[in-house]
Every structure is written in structure tokens, then in C-alpha cells.
Amino acid sequence: MLQYVVKRLLSTIPVLFGISLLLFFMLRMLPGDPAQVLAGQMATPEEIENIRHQLGLDRPIHVQYAFFLSRLALFDLGRSARTQNPVTEEIWARLPNTILLAVVAIALACLFGIPAGIVSAVRPYTWTDYVVTFSALFGISMPVFWLGLMLVVVFSVMLNWLPAGGTGSWKHVILPSLTLAALMVAFIARMTRASMIEVLSQDYTTTARSKGLKEQVVIIKHALKNALIPIITVVGLQFGLLLGGAVLTETVFAWPGLGRLIVDSILARDYPVIQGAILVFGLLYILVNLIVDLVYAYVDPRIRYE
Amino acid sequence: MNKRTQTSARPPQDRPPEGKLRRGWAKLRRNKAALFGGILILIYLATALLAPVLFPGNPSAPNLARSLERPSLEHPLGTDELGRSILGRIIYGSRVSLLIAVGVILVGLLVGVPLGLVSGYYGGKIDFGIQRVTDTMLAFPGFLLALALVAVLGVGLKNTVISVGISMVPMYIRLVRGCALSVREQVYVEAARAVGTRDVVILLRHILPNVMVPITVQTSLGMGMAILFAAGLGFLGVGVQPPTPEWGTMLGSGRVYLFNSPHVATFPGIAIFLAVLGFNLSGDGLRDVLDPRFRI
């Protein structure tokens, strides 16, 4: 196991290196002087000169990259061109909100998606199955931001049950997390169905049935446990979709998270914050997939020996 | 959609060889979901092509005296904040989204397919290099990658196409590389190499045709995704800019009037949904017919 963990950790290094290169060249691809870009449009000549010197922009490009890496290693991402606060501070203030939203959304998605997939798999090619498969496809085709707005129209404008946006109480979490979960429910239900159908045709399921176990026990204890592995993977892979959806959902519900921060920063051309937010999104995604792979290897020992 | 097929009960030897295409078509026709998807796509294409016939007049000309009207006989879907017909803007918006989706797929195919072919066929250092770049791009969720590219390139229609297109590239590279890897070892490729056929010819004549099926399926699903991504960028205000009628941008500006005039944001969303649903349904149907291996 330890060997696998080390191998898997090492495999993230090229990707981390790639991300650092991407962020480094992102600023240099913009027209104009990177120091000017980082300082923002309102900066004074001294401020620009200061940044130029700080980042070593007057040195050769490989020295600049080394500077950039050493600052990254210290989590020094510069200051926001808008607020002048350190970028790390801006990100830390928003990150917990995005994580809260993501965790609640994943929980909701599993809560609805897995049972829907099981029901669909147990009765394939029946009305129940068609309803689940169709709803899943509807969920995948629906623009998240539109779903969010429609939920606001129904639950905030018409029924006046829930707040239309902002934070403060558990009531504020319901609509954004439901919106975000909708997309994932669809993927989880589809994967659960496919995985369960396969497991239900295996010999050990037949054995479990033939020794007279109750159908519920067969499905939950024998089939679901084995079907769970691909489902876990899909949850991990869809986490990326969730982060992308978070950008849109946070905008709809004025939710002060990382997604909203990145959109505001793009609109304000606040490049230090854009860089930092992209970095954190990339790291989060890598981290989640790392965890999923490790859980996977823990649950299914065969994977470690491949 | 998974459908039970009656033909699968017959052993394969009984089937006439020329019936392969016809059987596929019959299977696709029996798949009602795919058929419905196809109809949605046809309506979408027809709307885009016939826009000036369906809505004579300029969809972007403001008429402030009639702003934010509810649906009526004259304006079946109501008017927006500048008094423009929402129906007219949705009809013309289909042109914009179709243009974007086709452009995005072209970027994805033109960059992704050659890189995937080369990566899978040659292997070695080239493959390693291309795969590390792909890994890095895949470290970002697709929509975020497009958003990051927009941050660098700037807003507008052209940059939306480039950004969303590039975000699709790693998907095509992976898909094509996988196929190229498995075909590379086939006897007919070895034979072609043995008689001294040039690599370019091998790639185009022997490997590319084998990749066509997964590419076709992926392209149908990719069209839907392109429409969703572009609309998402428009909604955030970093995609196609007004006054061009773009569905996502329309939704974004309608958001402000949600409380008193929810119709402004509702209808463009339905248009996006139906177009994407069409491509997803037919993509799923095509996968069932052409490529049963990838069934989910």
C-alpha cells in the first residue's frame, strides 16, 4: 500500500509542474507589460517598478520562473490589484464557502443518485427505469445557472420560502447546493445503474440468492458493496464538474465563494487573484482525485498490484 | 438509452453482410429517445438557417417603449429590458450558438485528432510530452479551463470559440490516442509498414478510419457541451457580448428582472436545454448503435 501511495504521489509532480508553467506563461501571454498587468490599471509608476523588481521581471526568463516557483512554494501569490490585500487572504476568506457548498451538494447527489440508480438497475427496462434514465439525461442537459434561477423563481419569488441569495443561515445553503447537486445526481444515477446491472449478473449474486437470502440483503450487502467502487470514481471525476458548476451557481446565488471571486476578478482584470484562484482550483481537483485513487486502492486491493 | 433489441437474439452468422448499415438505422429508428434527439437537432438547425424568415426585422433593435412586456400575441415570449422580442432573439441566438458549437468542435478536432494520432502511433518521447500537457489541461475542470483562457484572451465570440475549443482538446487527444494505440499493433498496420508505406498514409488511411466511430459519438456529445459552456461564459458576462443575441448572455441580463419579469430569463434557458438535450440524446443513441462497448 505504501509503495502505491508513494507512486501515486510522485505521479502528481509533472502535473504540478505543468500548472506552474501554465500560470507563469498566462501573464506573459497577455499583451503589455506583466508588471503593469499585475499592478492593475490604477497603479502608480513606483508601484509598477516595485512589482517589477520584486518579481525579478528585469531578469532573464528562467530566473523569473525560478522566482515564481520559490514564491509559489511559500504561498506568496502577490497582492490583489483591486483590494491590495494579499491574494492568499482573499482566497482563504472564500474557500470554506465553496467547500461547504461542494460537500453538501455531493452528499445530496449521493442521497438521491444512488437509490435512483439501484431502483433503475433492479427493474431494468420498466417504467421506473425509463423515468430515472430520462431524468438523468434531463439533468445533464440542463444549464446549471438556469436551473438555479428557476429555483429562485419558484421558492423565493413565488412561494417566498427560501432566500434568493447570500449567506447567513442553513436556509441560504439549500437552493445553491440543490442546484449544484442536480448535475451530479444524473451522473451518479447513471453510473450506479450501469455498475449494479453488471454486479447483479455476477455468480456471487446468484449464489447469494440461491442460498435463500432476502432480496434486500442481496442488493444492499452483496451487490451494492461491489458496485460502489466505480461509483466512488465517478464522484471523484465529477468533482471537477462540480467546481466548474460552482462558478456559475455562486454567481446565481451571490454566494461568496471561490467561483464568484474568479469571475469578479476576470471582469476587473485582477490578474494576481485570477492566478491564485486557478491554482487553488487545480490543486483541489488534483487532491480530490488523489484521495479517490487512494480510497479505491484501499477498498480494492487488486488495484495496488497492477 | 439502453434498449432491448430483438435482433440480438439471432446469431450473427444469420445476418446478411450488406444489412449492417440498414440494421444500424433500424436500431436507431427504434430507439425513440435518439429519434426525439434527432428531431430536436433538426428543429435547431432549421431555426438557425431560417432565422430571417421566421423573424423578419432586427432582433437587436431596441424599443424602450415596450420594455419588459409579458408574453402576448405580438410578442409570444414577451420582450426584454430594451423592448426587444425575446422570441426573435432566441431565433437569432440559435445561429450564434450553432456557429460557436461548430467552431468549438473544429478547434477540438483539428488540434486534438492529429496530436492524439501522433501520440498513440509513435509512442515514446513524443507521446510522453503530449500526455504530460494533456494531464495538465485535465487537471482543470473543462469549464474552468475555458474560463482561464478567456481571462487571458479576452471576451467576445471569437475568443469564446477558441477557449471552449481548447478546453475540448484533451478529451479528443485521449480518445484518439487510445484507439491509435490499440490499432497500431494490428496486422494490417504492420503489413503496411512492412511494404514501406509512409507514416502519414498509414495514419490517415489505416488508423484514422478506426477512430471515426468514437469521434462521431464524442462530437455529438461535444456539441451539447460546447453550447452549455459558451452559454455559461455568456451568462457570466465574459462570453459573447451584447447586443449580439446569445442565449447565455440573454439569461445573464434577464437575471436582474427575475422578481417582476421572470420570463426574460426563463425562455433562453429552455432554448439552451432543448438544444443540448437533442445532442445528448442522439449522442447516446449513436453510441448504442455504433459502439456498444462504451455503453453506460
Signed CA dihedral, B70, B75, B81, B87: sign only: positive
Q: Which cell numbers in the block locate residue A202? A: 455476477
Tracing cell 520559490 back to the chain, one arrives at A70
Q: Do B232 and A248 touch (CB under 8 A)?
A: yes
Is the pLDDT reported for residue B151 higher than 80?
yes
Contact B35/A at CB under 8 A = no
Please give the DSSP secondary-structure letter assigned to residue A85. S
Give residue B293's pLDDT band: very low, low, confident or very high (50, 70, 90): low
Is the pLDDT reported for residue B292 higher than 60?
no
pLDDT of residue A261: 92
Residue B156: list chain A partners with CB under 8 A.
Answer: none
Say what percent of chain A tops pLDDT 90.
Answer: 12
Q: Tell me the per-residue pLDDT of B255-281, one tens digit each, with 9 for 90 and over.
A: 888 888 888 889 999 999 999 999 999
Compute the nearest-CA separation of A146 from chain B (Å). 6
* Mean pLDDT, residues A236-253 taken together: 85
Is the pLDDT reported for residue A15 higher than 50?
yes
Q: Tell me the per-residue pLDDT of A22-37, one tens digit each, with 9 for 90 and over.
A: 888 877 777 767 777 7
Which of B139, B224, B251 lies at the smallest CB-CB distance from A15?
A: B139
Q: Tell me the per-residue pLDDT of A146-178, one tens digit each, with 9 for 90 and over.
A: 999 999 988 888 888 888 777 778 888 889 999
Is the pLDDT reported for residue B4 higher than 70?
no
Mean per-residue pLDDT of chain B: 84
Query: Using an 8 Å Cβ cutoff, are B157 and B240 in contact?
Result: yes
Is the pLDDT reported for residue B3 higher than 50?
no
Contact B293/A at CB under 8 A = no
Q: Do B272 and A146 touch (CB under 8 A)?
A: yes
pLDDT of residue B291: 61
Which amino acid is located at A34 in the chain?
P
Say what percent of chain B tops pLDDT 70.
Answer: 89
Is the pLDDT reported for residue B84 higher than 70?
yes
As for the ipTM of the complex, it is 0.84
Query: Using an 8 Å Cβ cutoff, are B34 and B28 in contact?
Result: yes
* Mean pLDDT, residues B81-89 taken together: 85
Which of A125, A143, A190 lies at the smallest CB-CB distance from B4?
A: A125
Q: Say how far apart CA B227 and CA B102 lie, in whole Å.
A: 10
Lowest pLDDT segment from A61-70, A144-153, B160-169: A61-70
Q: Which cell numbers in the block locate residue A190? A: 447513471
Q: Say how far apart CA B48 and CA A30 lie, in whole Å.
A: 35
Please give the DSSP secondary-structure letter assigned to residue B130. H
Tally of CA atoms within 13 A in the half-sphere of B289 that contains its CB: 24
Q: Tell me the per-residue pLDDT of B172-214, one tens digit each, with 9 for 90 and over.
A: 998 899 888 888 888 888 888 888 888 888 888 888 888 888 8
**Higher model confidence: residue B260 or residue B39?**
B39
Say what percent of chain B tops pLDDT 90.
Answer: 33
Contact B258/A at CB under 8 A = yes
3-state secondary structure of B79: strand
Q: Tell me the per-residue pLDDT of A282-294, one tens digit each, with 9 for 90 and over.
A: 888 888 888 888 8
Q: Do B141 and A157 touch (CB under 8 A)?
A: no
DSSP B2-54: ----SGGGS-GGGS-TTHHHHHHHHHHHH-HHHHHHHHHHHHHHHHHHTHHHH
- Three-class SS of B247-277: HHHHHHHHHHHCCCCCHHHHHHHHHHHHHHH
Give residue A304's pLDDT band: very low, low, confident or very high (50, 70, 90): low
Which of B2, B144, B258 lies at the smallest CB-CB distance from A149?
A: B258
Query: Using an 8 Å Cβ cutoff, are B184 and B120 in contact?
Result: yes
Give residue B2's pLDDT band: very low, low, confident or very high (50, 70, 90): very low
Say how many residues make up chain A: 306
Say what percent of chain A tops pLDDT 70.
Answer: 97
Is the pLDDT reported for residue A130 higher than 90?
no
Contact B82/A at CB under 8 A = no
Is the pLDDT reported for residue B37 higher than 70?
yes
Q: Which cell numbers in the block locate residue B205? A: 488511411
pLDDT of residue A293: 81
Query: Using an 8 Å Cβ cutoff, are B226 and B157 in contact?
Result: no
CB-based burial of residue A268 (10 Å sphere; 0-12 exposed, 13-18 middle, 19+ buried)?
Answer: middle
Contact B150/A at CB under 8 A = yes
Delineate the domains of chain B, giving CATH numbers in brackets.
32-55+75-294 (1.10.3720.10)
* Mean pLDDT, residues A69-74 taken together: 84
Q: How far is CA A120 from CA A23, A132, A213, B217, B247, in A?
A: 44, 6, 21, 24, 34
Q: Do B148 and A137 touch (CB under 8 A)?
A: no
Q: Say how far apart CA A183 and CA A199 lie, in whole Å.
A: 25
Which of A18, A152, A241 lies at the smallest CB-CB distance from B141?
A: A241
Whether the upstream peptide bond of residue B12 has omega within 30° of 0, thus cis, is no
* Mean pLDDT, residues A171-194 taken together: 87
Give residue B20's pLDDT band: very low, low, confident or very high (50, 70, 90): low
Q: Do A266 and B296 touch (CB under 8 A)?
A: no
What are the backbone angles phi and psi of residue A160, rounded to the nearest 5°? 55, 40
Q: Which cell numbers in the block locate residue B138? A: 485535465
Is the pLDDT reported for residue A88 higher than 80?
yes
* Mean pLDDT, residues B229-255 taken together: 91
Q: Do A143 and B251 touch (CB under 8 A)?
A: yes
Contact B108/A at CB under 8 A = no
Q: Would you tell me how many other CB atoms lie within 10 Å of the CB of residue B208? A: 18
Nearest CA in chain B to A267: B238
User: Mean pLDDT: which of A232-241, B12-21, B99-108, B133-142 is highest?
Assistant: B99-108
**Higher model confidence: residue A36 or residue A106?**
A106
Lowest pLDDT segment from A91-95, A281-285, B286-290: B286-290
Compute the nearest-CA separation of B273 from chain A (Å). 5
Mean per-residue pLDDT of chain A: 83
Q: Tell me the per-residue pLDDT of B111-140, one tens digit each, with 9 for 90 and over.
A: 999 999 999 888 889 998 898 888 888 878
Signed CA dihedral, A162, A165, A171, A177: sign only: positive
Compute the nearest-CA separation of A243 from chain B (Å). 7
Q: Say how far apart CA B287 and CA B296 lie, in whole Å.
A: 9
Give residue B16's pLDDT band: very low, low, confident or very high (50, 70, 90): very low
* Mean pLDDT, residues B279-286 taken together: 87
pLDDT of residue B47: 92
Give residue A303's pLDDT band: very low, low, confident or very high (50, 70, 90): low
Say how many residues make up chain B: 296
**Higher model confidence: residue A301 or residue B76?**
B76
Residue B273: list chain A partners with CB under 8 A.
Answer: 141-143, 146
